[in-house]
Amino acid sequence: MKFIVSSTYLLKQLQVLGGVINSSNTLPILDNFLFELNHTKLTVSASDLETTMSSVIEVESNTEGRIAIPAKLVLDTLKTFPEQPLTFIVEENNIVEISSNHGKYALAYTNADEFPKAVALENPKATIIPGDVLATAINKTIFASGNDDLRPVMSGVFFQFSTEGLTFVATDAHKLVKYTREDITATETAEFIMPKKPLNLLKGILATNSSDVVIEYNDSNAKYIFDNTTLTCRLIDGKYPNYEAVIPKENPNKLNIDRVQFLNSVRRVSIFSNKTTHQIRLKIAGAELNISAEDMDYSNKAEERLTCGYQGDDMEIGFNSRFLTEMLNNLNSEEVQLVMSLPNRAGILTPVDGLDKGEHITMLVMPVMINS
C-alpha cells in the first residue's frame, strides 16, 4: 500500500475528522484514523462509537489496503510541514513510513479490522437541505440546548420535518429557541433528536458551504452526506417535550428596541448583578425602558435608561442576564421585539428584520422572580 498526497490538503481533511475523536477513549483503536485506500481514492474515517465521520481524499496511487494510524501523531506531524507532496508507504512490520522533501518518519499502525464499522441505515427516509441553511439552523438553536444528563432529550436539537417546512427546536427549560424554514420542505413528516457533538462538527464544516446536504434517518440513526464527506450518528432516544404548550399565545405588551443598544446595556448592567442569579430587572413605562441590577451582598448596583417603542401596560419583569445576552447575541437583526403578558410568564424575543423570506425565529426566555 503506497500513496502520494498534498500535505496541507491531507491536514485540512484530518483536522475536520479529528473533531470526532474524544480526548480519552475506552477503546484504544478509537485514538486512530482509519485509512482505506482504493487506487486514487483514500477514505479516512474517525469514530467515537456514537458518531462516525469519513472523507474521501484524492491521492496518487495504484494500490489498495486498510490500516489504522495514530491520529494525534499524524496530525502533529502534518502541522509542521509546509505545502509539499508526502509519500506514505506501508511496510511489512506494522510500520508506515512517511517521506517528505527533507526526511522520513516511521510510525506504527494498527490492524484496521479492529476499527468499528459505521452503522448502515436500513430503509431510511431522506431530506435535502442546503448546507448554509443547516449551519444557520444549528447555530441559532444549539446554544439553547441543555446539559442535564438526567434529561438527555433536552441535551440535543429537535428536528421536525414536514411538507410545510422544517423546524429546529432547542430548550433547557429556562430558554427555548424555535427556528423555522417555510422555504424548504420535506417529502414526508419526520422528527428526531440530534445530539450536540455531531451538530457542532456539522456547524463548523457547513458554515461556508452552500452545497446540498442529504440527511438520511431512521428511528435510531441519522446520516449526513455532502461533498466528499459522510457523518453518521446515533440519535437521542426519547420523546421531545411538547414545546408549543410553553409558548404563551396572548402577549399584549410589546417592546421594540435596537438590538445592539439593548445588548450592550444588558451586558454592562449585568456586571453589577448577583453572581448566582445574574438577575436584571426591566421596568417599562411609556417610551422608556429602565434596566437595573443590584447585588445586595456587595452593595453594587447599576441602572440604565433606553428609549424604546412600547405598547402595553407599565410593567416590571426580571430575567437572567446571561440568557438574555446569549439570545441577543444569536440574532443578526438591527431591531428586536420582546413581547410579554405577565411578570411571571415567559417573554418572547423575535427579530424585527434581517430574516430571509420563509425564515422565522422565536426565542423564549423564562422570567426570574423579582425580590422587591
Residues whose CB is less than 8 angstroms from the CB of residue 290 and which lie 6 or more positions away in sequence, other chains included = 282, 283, 284, 303, 304, 305
Q: What are the structural domain ranges in the chain?
A: 2-114, 125-244, 248-368
- Tell me which fold the domain 125-244 belongs to: DNA Polymerase III; Chain A, domain 2 (3.10.150)
**What is the spatial distance between Cα 78 and Cα 268, in angstroms, rounded to a whole number?**
44
Single pTM value for the model: 0.93
Please state the rounded mean pLDDT for residues 31-50: 97
**What is the spatial distance between Cα 176 and Cα 192, in angstroms, rounded to a whole number?**
17
**What is the spatial distance between Cα 101 and Cα 20, in angstroms, rounded to a whole number?**
30
**What is the spatial distance between Cα 57 and Cα 10, in angstroms, rounded to a whole number?**
8
Q: Is the pLDDT of residue 324 over 90?
A: yes
pLDDT at residue 197, rounded to an integer: 96
Q: Is the pLDDT of residue 228 over 90?
A: yes
Q: Quick one: pLDDT band at residue 337, thresholds 50, 70, 90? A: very high
Q: Is the pLDDT of residue 64 over 80?
A: yes
Report angle CA 83, 84, 88 to the nearest 5 degrees: 125
User: What is the architecture, at CATH level 2, of domain 248-368?
Assistant: Roll (3.10)
Per the prediction, the chain carries an average pLDDT of 96
**What is the spatial distance between Cα 18 and Cα 139, in angstroms, rounded to a whole number?**
21
pLDDT at residue 160, rounded to an integer: 97
pLDDT at residue 118, rounded to an integer: 86
Task: Give pLDDT tens digits for 258-305.
Answer: 999 999 999 999 999 999 999 999 999 999 999 999 999 999 999 999
pLDDT at residue 327, rounded to an integer: 97
Report the chain's terminal Cα–Cα distance, integer Å: 74
pLDDT at residue 209, rounded to an integer: 82
- CATH code, residues 2-114: 3.10.150.10
Percent of the chain predicted with pLDDT > 90:
96
Task: Give pLDDT tens digits for 90-116.
Answer: 998 999 999 999 999 999 999 999 999
Q: Quick one: pLDDT band at residue 372, thresholds 50, 70, 90? A: low
pLDDT at residue 215, rounded to an integer: 97
Establish whether domains 2-114 and 125-244 are of one fold: yes
Task: Give pLDDT tens digits for 293-323.
Answer: 999 999 999 999 999 999 999 999 999 999 9
